[in-house]
């Protein structure tokens, strides 16, 4: 079975995310060269974190991304970090949209926001059916690993990101961060998450190498060219930092082990490479040798469960970025359950 990607749904601005459009229009006309009022505003109904808007003005499209309204978890929704890293990567081999402006004045839209170029292409949310056929699907995966290797090859000091994070101990720091975030957004007791909370600390591998890491590098955050298996934009850098590059690769592969029984993914079949093949591609592109991979997969699913829980918690509060957010009910539990199963049984082929 093959499928075409559905374009990001564009809707009227959700009531919870409305803002003073006249104030934004005046601000953008003053701060962005070539921005010509009047403007029209719609909202992308995809993604569950930072509200994202399509702005049309003067025959040109812009994308505005802001923090959500309401009470937020500390260090979450860091649009300033998203802007900073994408702007720093503009002249590298990592495909990112052009950044136009960062506004840290909450009086304009109610929160911080940034403006970037609108890209056009395909976004695949389902690994198992990405692309037009099995041949292209395999090429899409190869291209995705190439982009990850290109990101991890960037000299973060040279592009001005020397203070973007702390080198070393990435997994330990991420474990403490997302455990804390999970506990702050908890809506139910998840036994498997509690077991992982005890299991992970004693098995953390040595974590010395430091690169820029995306943090959420699935195909759902990669835009591919309309007519070729080529990434035109790596998007959604909200949890990017300096860290261990193998964590990014493991996160990419951890999406194979979805707990959604309606979307089984079979690595090694139908154009979907096995995780061993993905690691071989990554090792070839990056020159690294991957070790301790099963641990990184389980760890990333633990982190994903915490992130999903935060998304659902915002949905309960009513300030999520997407109308689809309430469909994540129970997803944190399913992800943690799968992670605990993999911790006990190992990675399937």
Q: What is the DSSP string of 115-164?
A: EEEPP-SB--S-GGG-SSSHHHHHHHHHHHHHHHHHHHTS-TTTTT-TTS
- Which pLDDT value is given to residue 126? 85
Is residue 48 predicted with pLDDT exceeding 60?
no
Distance in angstroms (rounded) separating the CA atoms of residues 302 and 306 = 7
- Which pLDDT value is given to residue 307? 87
Q: How many angstroms separate the Cα of 244 from the Cα of each of 158, 166, 184, 238?
A: 18, 11, 25, 17
- 10-38 pLDDT per residue, tens: 899 988 889 999 999 999 999 999 999 99
Is residue 163 predicted with pLDDT exceeding 70?
yes
What is the residue-averaged pLDDT of the chain? 88
Q: How many angstroms separate the Cα of 291 from the Cα of each of 208, 237, 244, 249?
A: 13, 25, 12, 11
Is residue 73 predicted with pLDDT exceeding 60?
no
- Measure the CA dihedral 106/109/115/121, to 10°: 140
- 121-141 pLDDT per residue, tens: 999 988 888 999 999 999 999
For residue 248, what are the contacts with CB-CB under 8 A and spacing of at least 6? 148, 151, 152, 213, 214, 215, 217
| Mean pLDDT for the stretch of residues 181-210 | 91
Distance in angstroms (rounded) separating the CA atoms of residues 16 and 68 = 9
Distance in angstroms (rounded) separating the CA atoms of residues 145 and 99 = 24
Peptide bond into 286 cis (omega under 30): no
**Where do runs of H (alpha helix) occur along the chain?**
21-31, 79-88, 106-109, 134-152, 170-184, 191-199, 245-254, 275-286, 293-317, 331-345
- 291-337 pLDDT per residue, tens: 899 999 999 999 999 988 887 777 766 655 445 545 566 889 999 99
- Which pLDDT value is given to residue 2? 42
């Amino acid at each position: 079975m093959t499928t075409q990607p559905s374009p990001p749904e564009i809707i009227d601005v959700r009531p919870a995310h409305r803002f003073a459009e006249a104030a934004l229009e005046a601000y953008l006309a003053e701060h962005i060269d070539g921005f010509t009022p009047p403007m029209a505003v719609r909202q992308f109904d995809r993604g569950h974190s930072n509200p994202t808007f399509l702005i049309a003005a003067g025959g040109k499209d812009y994308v505005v991304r802001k923090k959500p309204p309401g009470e937020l978890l500390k260090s979450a929704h860091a649009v300033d970090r998203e802007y900073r890293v994408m702007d720093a990567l503009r002249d590298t081999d990592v495909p990112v949209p052009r950044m136009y402006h960062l506004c840290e004045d909450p009086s304009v839209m109610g929160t911080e926001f940034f403006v970037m170029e609108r890209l056009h292409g395909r976004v695949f949310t389902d690994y198992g059916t990405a692309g037009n056929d099995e041949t292209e699907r395999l090429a899409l995966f190869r291209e995705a690993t190439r982009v990850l290797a290109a990101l991890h090859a960037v000299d973060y000091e040279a592009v001005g990101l020397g203070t973007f994070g702390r080198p070393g101990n990435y997994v330990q720091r991420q474990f403490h961060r997302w455990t804390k975030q999970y506990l702050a957004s908890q809506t139910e007791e998840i036994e498997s998450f509690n077991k992982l909370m005890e299991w992970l600390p004693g098995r953390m591998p040595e974590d010395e190498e430091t690169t820029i890491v995306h943090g959420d590098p699935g195909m759902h955050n990669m835009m591919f060219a309309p007519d070729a298996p080529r990434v035109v934009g790596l998007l959604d850098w909200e949890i990017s930092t300096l860290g261990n590059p193998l964590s990014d690769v493991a996160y990419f592969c951890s999406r194979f082990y979805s707990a959604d029984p309606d979307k089984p993914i079979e690595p090694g079949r139908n154009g979907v490479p096995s995780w061993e093949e993905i690691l071989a591609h990554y090792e070839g592109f990056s020159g690294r040798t991957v070790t301790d991979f099963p641990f990184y997969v389980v760890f990333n699913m633990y982190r994903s469960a915490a992130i999903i829980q935060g998304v659902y918690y915002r949905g309960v509060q009513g300030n999520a970025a997407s109308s689809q957010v309430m469909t994540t009910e129970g997803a944190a539990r399913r992800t943690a359950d799968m992670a605990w199963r993999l911790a006990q049984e190992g990675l399937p082929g």
